[in-house]
Structure 1
Amino acid sequence: MRIGDLIRDLRKARGWSQARLASEVNDAYGTALGREYVSNWECSKVQPGPFYLRALSAVLDVPLAVLEDDVKRRTFMTDVAGAAIAPVVASDLLSLGFAARLRGGPTAEAWDAKLATYGTEYMSLGAADTQRRVAGELVAVQQQLEQPRLWSVASRLMTLYAKTFPGSDGTKAVHWYRMAAEAADQAGDEETRVWVRGRAAIALGYEGAALGVADVLADQAMAISRRPSLGLLNAIMGKAHAAALRGDYGAARELAEEGRRVFDRAGSYEQTSDYAVPWWRMNVFLSLLLARLGDERGAVDAQEEAAKELPGTLPRFATHLELHRGLMLARSGDRPAGLNHARAAMAALPPEKHSLTLRLLLAEIGQGAAPG
């Protein structure tokens, strides 16, 4: 199979036009790719170079080796293309749902174990793989919602599912975050209600997307309970990022200080779960926040503290810190240097570990707005 044919098939599987694929690459990598380039690739008039192969690998969620090697391209399209380029097919989802209904589905304890596994795997899996797997879990848990405890499970799965969509699209991610909040309310569990809203707020605030929704969900979490918890911490830090991006630096700093106080009482010892906020992850939050505030010294201190304890098994978060440094360069007035630093960091990370959040950060660096 020619590489042009594969690019075309992967693009069409997502329902994208050639212009949309060019736009996805441009948004993620700060390039100026035009629709005609995509057309030339697909017609095999030209071959994408190494930089664009990495970019296509990331935005199309396909291993780089598949794009580079003709034999692997053929194997990919004949053996695993369906699993790699599309969500769980409708027949599989229907089967999962009916099986869960007929057999009673997993026990509450089994669901808790599944959540723990997803919380760990989220830290290293790509968005596409997570989305496919969680879609099936959501269909199954729907069949067991007579149990209030499983509304809590459903709400946390919905929150994870929402994270697989970019908050900047203004529709899918926000829809699922709101659904997750409603599901948490059905569970009637205060901790879950706060956590779901807080996790949504930090996700949107960190991405710099749907800031109004981030504020609303953070405010709801804080209104439900001010008891120190990871959910409250996420809510406060999400609201801090939203304030920084709006230019309200005073509010952002006050919220950051409040977040530090909550962390002192509720921080985690668990190091590698999305349900945890250990010291290194708190400093990842602070690193980006302080970079957005133009506080270079504070941002560097946070980056150094995060690097001390960041597990080596989580290279994606090391890339986050490098992108924060790129943002600092861009905001200091040297946008080309900041963008080059960020692109080099992204290129060093295996494409299958790229995340939507990293791509949004790269786009933010490309804008290079200086702090007020």
Structure 2
Amino acid sequence: MELGELIRDLRKARGWSQGRLASAINAAHGTTLAREYVSNWERSKITPGAFYLAALSATLDVPPAVLESQVDRREFLTDVAGAAIAPVVASDLLSAGFAARLSGGPSADAWEAKLTRYGTEYMSLGAADIQRRVSAELVTVQQQLDNPRLWSVAARLMTLYAKTFPGSDGSKAVHWYRMAAKAADESGDDDARVWVRGRAAIALGYEGAALGVADVLADQAIAISDRPSLGLLNAIFGKAHAAAIRGDHATARKLLTDGRRVFDQAGSHEQTSDYAVPWWRINVFVSLLAARLGDEATAVAAQEAARTEIPSALPRFATHLEMHRGLMLARSGDVSGGTAYARTALDALPPEKHSLTLRLLMAEVEQSRGRVDQLRNP
């Protein structure tokens, strides 16, 4: 099947017009794509470049491997552990899954090594690339779930996979976070149970999406164990962001204090992993939280502290800090200036480094106009 035919069939499967597909890409990626470009893609007059392949991947819910593959792309898997996942070529995933079952698959130690690698790669790779890789791993690990330790592995992989969907989607990300929590429960490992729920809570709270779910998962993590840990730290900051967005500043400030106390006992020395929360990363959490609270002094102090320690290999997180400054400007009343500042910061980051979280943050800055108007005219 030609790429143009695939784009056309995926668009029609959603019941979308060419104009609707162009609009969806523009809304998600800040582009000005015209309907005529979609028509030219579908007629193979123009081949989408790397940026638009990634945009099509995210908008049509198809990993890049499917768009780039030259095999028959009509057959897709739609179920992993009973839940819909982004379509991936069926033959490849089925082969990997059965091979893992027949051979016994990687050992638990080998899976832990894979998790370590993915935790590091997540910090610099784009969401689409992580989604493509982790979806294949989930098919493999599900063949080995007669080992409780691998339920823990699966739970952490599911959590990472959920991060490749925007929390504002409302269904996919939340579904995977909830399923990851259940998988962690199957492992009997309280550390995994707390970490999975806490990581989901901070992801949703930071994104400002599905706040009720963020609260529930954070509360579950706190109830499982109040022992200082990275999972508990994430849960507390997830609740803090949810409270700040709702306007409950007193609760958010109390949770900020609690979170700092837990960080003093559980903060990590590892610098470049999604499974780590070092000093610079806690300051990224604080930077956005303080910006949402309107606490400019705390926000700027956190930004300066983080900026001195963020590894140079992680430019995406430096972009987060700049966009937090844009949010502060917008919330102080300079919506146009704040939006321009945040957009400049985002545009300076190569498109392949963009994350779904950054897109949601950009939308939050742009939507500040309505909030400022509301404050001025209660």
Q: CA deviation at 1:267?
A: 0.2
Contact 2:323 2:341 in 1 (8 A): yes
Structure 1 residue 60 and structure 2 residue 56: aligned? yes
Calculate percent identity across the aligned residue pairs. Answer: 67
Question: Counterparts of 1:224 and 1:126 in 2: how far apart (Å)?
Answer: 32
Q: Which residue of 2 aligns with 1:38?
A: 34
TM-score of the aligned structures, taking structure 1 as reference length: 0.85
Instruction: Map 1:1-372 onto structure 2 (within 5 A).
Output: 12=11, 15=14, 17=16, 18-29=19-30, 38-43=34-39, 56=52, 59-60=55-56, 87-368=87-368, 369-370=371-372
What amino acid sits opposite 1:26 in the alignment?
A
Q: CA deviation at 1:43?
A: 4.5
- What does the per-residue CA deviation read over 1:131-167, in whole Å, with 9 as the maximum and x for residues that have no partner? 1111111111111111110000000000001001111
Question: Counterparts of 2:354 and 2:176 in 1: how far apart (Å)?
Answer: 22
Q: CA deviation at 1:7?
A: 11
What amino acid sits opposite 1:330 in the alignment?
A
Distance of aligned partners of 1:147 and 1:55 in 2 relative to their CA distance in 1, 3 Å threshold: closer
Contact 1:10 1:60 in 2 (8 A): no
What amino acid sits opposite 2:201 in the alignment?
A
Question: Counterparts of 1:276 and 1:108 in 2: how far apart (Å)?
Answer: 20
Q: CA deviation at 1:345?
A: 1.0
Distance of aligned partners of 1:55 and 1:110 in 2 relative to their CA distance in 1, 3 Å threshold: closer
Three-state SS of the structure 2 residue aligned to 1:270 is coil
Q: CA deviation at 1:60?
A: 3.3
Distance of aligned partners of 1:132 and 1:226 in 2 relative to their CA distance in 1, 3 Å threshold: same
Question: Counterparts of 1:285 and 1:162 in 2: how far apart (Å)?
Answer: 19
Contact 2:22 2:38 in 1 (8 A): no
TM-score of the aligned structures, taking structure 2 as reference length: 0.84
What amino acid sits opposite 2:345 in the alignment?
A
Contact 1:27 1:363 in 2 (8 A): no
Contact 1:270 1:276 in 2 (8 A): yes
Question: Counterparts of 1:276 and 1:236 in 2: how far apart (Å)?
Answer: 15
Q: CA deviation at 1:14?
A: 9.2
Contact 2:51 2:352 in 1 (8 A): no
- What does the per-residue CA deviation read over 1:94-113, in whole Å, with 9 as the maximum and x for residues that have no partner? 11110000000000110000
What amino acid sits opposite 1:38 in the alignment?
A
What amino acid sits opposite 2:339 in the alignment?
L
Question: Counterparts of 1:19 and 1:256 in 2: how far apart (Å)?
Answer: 42
What amino acid sits opposite 2:308 in the alignment?
K
Q: CA deviation at 1:27?
A: 4.6
Contact 1:123 1:314 in 2 (8 A): yes
Contact 1:284 1:321 in 2 (8 A): yes
Contact 2:208 2:242 in 1 (8 A): yes
Three-state SS of the structure 1 residue aligned to 2:128 is helix
Question: Counterparts of 1:194 and 1:127 in 2: how far apart (Å)?
Answer: 24
What amino acid sits opposite 1:22 in the alignment?
S
Contact 2:240 2:251 in 1 (8 A): yes
- What does the per-residue CA deviation read over 1:209-233, in whole Å, with 9 as the maximum and x for residues that have no partner? 0000000000000000000000000
What amino acid sits opposite 2:234 in the alignment?
N
The alignment's C-alpha RMSD in Å is 2.9
Question: Counterparts of 1:327 and 1:81 in 2: how far apart (Å)?
Answer: 45
Q: Note the residue ranges of structure 2 that are not aligned, 5 or more in a row.
A: 41-48, 59-66, 74-85
Distance of aligned partners of 1:78 and 1:122 in 2 relative to their CA distance in 1, 3 Å threshold: closer
For these two proteins, the number of residue pairs brought into alignment is 343
Distance of aligned partners of 1:91 and 1:286 in 2 relative to their CA distance in 1, 3 Å threshold: same
Three-state SS of the structure 1 residue aligned to 2:284 is helix
Question: Counterparts of 1:89 and 1:190 in 2: how far apart (Å)?
Answer: 35
Question: Counterparts of 1:154 and 1:78 in 2: how far apart (Å)?
Answer: 27
Q: CA deviation at 1:12?
A: 3.6
Question: Counterparts of 2:207 and 2:263 in 1: how far apart (Å)?
Answer: 21
Three-state SS of the structure 2 residue aligned to 1:143 is helix
Question: Counterparts of 1:81 and 1:320 in 2: how far apart (Å)?
Answer: 39
Contact 2:54 2:128 in 1 (8 A): no
- What does the per-residue CA deviation read over 1:339-360, in whole Å, with 9 as the maximum and x for residues that have no partner? 1111111111110110000000
Question: Counterparts of 1:117 and 1:216 in 2: how far apart (Å)?
Answer: 29
- What does the per-residue CA deviation read over 1:198-250, in whole Å, with 9 as the maximum and x for residues that have no partner? 00000000000000000000000000000000000000000000000101011
Distance of aligned partners of 1:156 and 1:14 in 2 relative to their CA distance in 1, 3 Å threshold: farther
Distance of aligned partners of 1:343 and 1:55 in 2 relative to their CA distance in 1, 3 Å threshold: farther
Contact 2:236 2:255 in 1 (8 A): yes
Question: Counterparts of 2:139 and 2:122 in 1: how far apart (Å)?
Answer: 19
Question: Counterparts of 1:256 and 1:321 in 2: how far apart (Å)?
Answer: 18
Q: Note the residue ranges of structure 1 that are not aligned, 5 or more in a row.
A: 45-52, 63-75
What amino acid sits opposite 1:256 in the alignment?
L
Q: CA deviation at 1:297?
A: 1.2
Q: Which residue of 2 aligns with 1:65?
A: none
